[in-house]
Amino acid sequence: MAINLSVNLNKVALLRNSRGGQNPSPRAAAHTCIDAGVAGLTLHWRADNRHTREGDVRDLRAICRERGVEFNLEGDDRDELIALALELDVTQFTLVPVRPGEITSDHGWDLPRDHARLAPILARINDRGIRSAIFMDATPANMEAAARAGTRRVEIYTEPYAAAWSTPEREIEVARLRDTARACVAAGMQVNAGHDLNLANTPRIARDIPEIVEVSIGHALLADALYIGLREAVRRYVQACRGEEVEAPVTQ
């Protein structure tokens, strides 16, 4: 069974913001990704607006609704983000912890410690019929606590797996992802995954961890698109999500 690919377009917005103006356009990139066969699009709107802005969220939500694909909005638990998720009736809202000054997300929620912080938000999201998800480290023992908080899905943080890909620790990390995914399903939730996934390491989890139903990939896919074009990059990542070994562009 293939994993659904949701492409994170934050880096398109980041490149646009570095120069000003409207080029490159997240809207144009969104249509290209959908034409190439993605199941959905993702944006992570940070409070500092360093890449995605509120207007991008509104634009891409409208495009996804028009084109019939899912829209996943990611971010922390600040009020304006939650309000926007509810207003736009996004397909999925993924709560991700944010540490001031971080370059990118580098850890999951700490449950059960964060239960009181997350549970009321998850209840509001669920009550509106929006699929809820939370970003969690690959720790099997914490999946029951995630279920008690009320989330429908867990997005497993895959950076440790990606970092171990070319090391003797790879099989340990594969097993940790697999055990976490199984614990998630056993607790009554579905499984997403994301962070530092690429053409080399995605096929392995697609073949070996069938519990994963969705991956969110942004940085690696957009980096590959610089060499081979966005449409071709998306096409290859869709193949990788089916467990197929795919040639990666030469970057050195």
User: Is residue 149, in this structure, part of any structural domain at all?
Assistant: yes
The count of domains in the chain is 1
Known active-site residue 211: no
Q: What's the average model confidence in pLDDT over 204-227?
A: 97
Under the banding of pLDDT at 50, 70 and 90, the label for residue 226 is very high
pTM reported for the whole predicted model: 0.94
Which residues, in sequence order, are CB contacts of 101 under 8 Å at separation 6+? none
DSSP state of 245: -
The total of other beta-carbon atoms located within 10 Å of residue 173's CB is: 20
What pLDDT was estimated at residue 198?
Answer: 97
Q: Answer yes or no: is pLDDT of 129 > 80.
A: yes
Q: Answer yes or no: is pLDDT of 103 > 70.
A: no
Query: If you write DSSP's letter for every residue of 118-146 in order, what string do you get?
Result: HHHHHHHHHHTTPEEEEEE-S-GGGHHHH
Helix orientation angle between 26-35 and 10-19, rounded to the nearest 10 degrees: 150
Q: What's the average model confidence in pLDDT over 146-164?
A: 97
Known active-site residue 195: yes
Q: Answer yes or no: is pLDDT of 54 > 80.
A: yes
Q: Which of 19-28, 114-123, 133-142 has the lowest mean pLDDT?
A: 19-28
Beta strands in the chain (DSSP E): 4-8, 40-44, 70-75, 92-95, 131-136, 153-157, 190-194, 212-217
Please tell me which residue in 44, 70, 173, 214 is annotated as part of the active site.
44
Q: Answer yes or no: is pLDDT of 102 > 70.
A: no
User: Is residue 62, in this structure, part of any structural domain at all?
Assistant: yes
DSSP state of 78: -
Known active-site residue 115: no
63-85 residue pLDDT tens: 999 999 999 999 999 999 999 99
For the chain, what is the mean pLDDT? Answer: 95
3-state secondary structure of 154: strand
Question: What share of the chain has pLDDT > 90, as a percent?
Answer: 90
Structure tokens at 26: 């997240």
What pLDDT was estimated at residue 252?
Answer: 57
Q: What's the average model confidence in pLDDT over 94-105?
A: 80
User: Is residue 251, in this structure, part of any structural domain at all?
Assistant: no
Q: Answer yes or no: is pLDDT of 188 > 60.
A: yes
Please tell me which residue in 70, 195, 211, 214 is annotated as part of the active site.
195
User: Is residue 140, in this structure, part of any structural domain at all?
Assistant: yes
Please tell me which residue in 70, 74, 155, 173 is annotated as part of the active site.
74
What range defines the domain where residue 217 resides? 4-240
Under the banding of pLDDT at 50, 70 and 90, the label for residue 108 is confident
Q: What's the average model confidence in pLDDT over 85-99?
A: 96
Instruction: Specify the CATH number for the domain of residue 157.
Output: 3.20.20.70
User: Is residue 246, in this structure, part of any structural domain at all?
Assistant: no
